[in-house]
Structure 1
Amino acid sequence: MFKKLTNIQIHNNTIIIDGHESKVRVDGTCLEAALLVDDNYILLFVTFDCPFEEILAIYLLDLQQNRIIDKAKIYRMYYTDFFSDLVILSENRISFDFLIEGGWTLELFDKPKKSLTYLFPTLLVKRPFSLTRYFSIKNNV
């Protein structure tokens, strides 16, 4: 279950929750949205404020472990756009617009899933190597 948060900030790449530094560092400068997920996780959408090549970074922060457990970046060289139209579709799915017509759907898994997507990289979504994923991102076109 997603719930929008307003008590999250990013300062010098550090996540600040309710005025307290979490000691978790992220890439990016502008916090676009923060969602609480089942009181255990925070889903962060962060942009880099780069006028000619904008990047959207998505982070899943585990509040119990105080660390990022999954992440992805959406970008295309020499393209710019704005993050917009964040919509909660269901208990585990949200949609948003960035870079492409039709936007994106993010699905959060109930438990981590085995993943071999690193073998099939996509043009716009970049993710670090991992054998498990906590969420998937698909374009809506």
Structure 2
Amino acid sequence: MTTRSGSAKYEGLGRDGKGHVSTQSGVLSDSPYGFNTRFEDAPGTNPEELIAAAHASCFTMALSFALAKAGYSTGTLATTAKVTLDKDGDGFAITRSDLTLTGKVDGIAADEFATIAADAKANCPVSKVLNAEITLTHALD
């Protein structure tokens, strides 16, 4: 079993508050976040961006391992995830994660690539934890 951690601190309340987020690995260390990084374009990060990065990386790694298991040994995969935050009553909800994948895998047929990619989308751990619509668009070079 693997356990990873992240932490957040928020000083002040509401729009005037300023937050900092850190990860166990130290990749993020007191990185700023808050209303202005979430709903405006201020420097820093936000939860949706972090979820998008987590989903893109998890899916891409799951697909890489699935392709290797299917016997493929060379290729390149690049995924972008776009996470949508929508108004939900008085609050907000993450309603979808749209994955866009471009791949180059030597010797694979398009239909086999689509099948393996769809399985990776459904079964990567981050896809399983998200309670949102998840779409996948893919292309082979």
TM-score band, normalised by shorter chain? under 0.3
TM-score, length basis structure 1: 0.27
Normalized against structure 2, the TM-score is what?
A: 0.27
Higher-Rg structure is: 2
Q: Which one has the bigger helix percentage?
A: 2
Q: Which has the higher strand share?
A: 1
Which protein has greater RCO, CA pairs closer than 8 Å, 6+ apart? 2
